[in-house]
């Protein structure tokens, strides 16, 4: 049994785990109900909303934990919250109790996600070194790799690099190749590989089906912004759309390229929405900041107000 300030810290960490789960479930319901609405949002605000959704469970858990800690340490500040900022025996913590088991599960799962992503990063960096050694210079920050598949992608964090296959160079015209290269350089300018990987870490704390949906929405937003960055007087939206379709048709002759959280690639990802976006057939609207703020506040309030009820509910079954 642990007592004193360390017990308080461990109990607060357990509270944070429970608040995280409540917020995670709440955000999951919002995503399930409103997923199609994301497609009608303007691209840049949509990216911000997606970031807000995946980070909300973390923000909620930190806020709730701090409120409970404040409620325990001070009886003169925020006195109105003490009625529900309540945790039995805050100065006592037992690992062989539901408090301890809850905390161990939370730490174990978080460690699993972080270790998995770091292994993925390490493997990717090793593969990238091998790929760079086998590639040749094609353009500024663009390397050519010898392979028949029609692919192009951008990767790297601090030192970003674009890669394009010899198969794509042979199959595309000069203007089409310019579209592809400019598109990949937009990914590099926006640091999309880094952002995509960090986003995937937060997304992986949701159930797999929702995590994949979130990643797909973020991929679409990144691709649409990169496509939009290519448009100029010579490279028009219809021409860029036709290049996308051509690349997708050429890719159909090969095995599909496995999706990777560490790269942003020019291919058939979310092709239909990208085409509609380029041709101006999507009626995209700004995000309602008021509704978004209210939803986030409701999630925070739900996470905070549910702690005491969950505590009592669990203790009807388990002792601590």
Q: Mean pLDDT of successive 10-residue segments in the chain (320 residues)? A: 85 91 92 83 92 94 85 54 57 85 94 95 89 90 90 88 92 94 94 94 95 92 93 91 90 66 73 88 84 84 75 61
> Pairing between strand 161-165 and 142-145?
parallel
What is the reported pLDDT for 225?
A: 94
Distances (CA, A) of 280 to 23, 224, 302: 36, 12, 40
What is the reported pLDDT for 28?
A: 93
Neighbours of 61 (CB within 10 A): 23
Distance CA 189, CA 160 (A): 9
Distances (CA, A) of 139 to 143, 187, 267, 273: 7, 16, 20, 29
Please give the distance of CA 320 from its chain centroid, rounded to a whole number.
Answer: 36
What is the reported pLDDT for 88?
A: 65
Closest by Cα among 89, 126, 46 to 292: 46
What is the reported pLDDT for 158?
A: 83
Spatial contact of 16 and 73, defined as CB atoms under 8 Å apart: no
Burial zone of 111 (CB within 10 Å; 0-12 exposed, 13-18 middle, 19+ buried): exposed
What is the reported pLDDT for 82?
A: 47
Distance CA 241, CA 246 (A): 9
What is the reported pLDDT for 207?
A: 95
In total, the chain counts a number of residues equal to 320
Closest by Cα among 63, 46, 84 to 305: 84
Closest by Cα among 126, 158, 154 to 222: 154
Widest CA span of the chain, in angstroms?
A: 73
């Amino acid at each position: 049994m642990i007592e004193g300030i360390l017990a308080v810290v461990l109990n607060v960490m357990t509270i944070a785990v429970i608040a995280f789960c409540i917020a995670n479930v709440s955000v999951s319901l919002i995503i399930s109900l409103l997923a199609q609405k994301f497609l009608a949002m303007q691209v840049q605000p949509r990216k911000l909303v997606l970031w807000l959704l995946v980070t909300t469970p973390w923000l909620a858990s930190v806020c709730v934990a701090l409120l409970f800690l404040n409620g325990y340490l001070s009886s003169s500040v925020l006195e109105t919250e003490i009625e529900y900022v309540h945790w039995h025996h805050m100065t006592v913590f037992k690992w062989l109790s539901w408090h301890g088991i809850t905390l161990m599960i939370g730490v174990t799962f978080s460690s699993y996600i972080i270790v998995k992503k770091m292994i993925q990063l390490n493997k990717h960096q090793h593969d990238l070194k091998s790929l760079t050694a086998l590639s040749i210079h094609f353009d500024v920050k663009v390397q050519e790799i010898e392979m028949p598949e029609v692919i192009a992608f951008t990767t790297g964090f601090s030192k970003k690099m674009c890669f394009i296959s010899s198969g794509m160079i042979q199959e595309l015209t000069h203007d089409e190749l310019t579209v592809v290269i400019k598109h990949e350089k937009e990914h590099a300018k926006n640091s999309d590989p880094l952002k995509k990987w960090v986003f995937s870490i937060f997304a992986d704390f949701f159930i797999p089906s929702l995590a994949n949906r979130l990643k797909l929405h973020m991929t679409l937003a990144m691709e649409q912004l990169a496509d939009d960055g290519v448009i100029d007087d010579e490279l028009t939206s219809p021409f860029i759309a036709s290049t996308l379709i051509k690349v997708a048709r050429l890719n159909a002759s090969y095995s599909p390229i496995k999706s990777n959280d560490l790269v942003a690639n020019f291919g058939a990802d979310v092709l239909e929405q990208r085409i509609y976006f380029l041709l101006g057939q999507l009626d995209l609207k700004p995000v309602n900041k008021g509704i978004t703020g209210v939803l986030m506040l409701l999630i925070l309030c739900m996470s905070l107000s549910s702690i005491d009820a969950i505590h009592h509910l669990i203790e009807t079954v388990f002792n601590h």
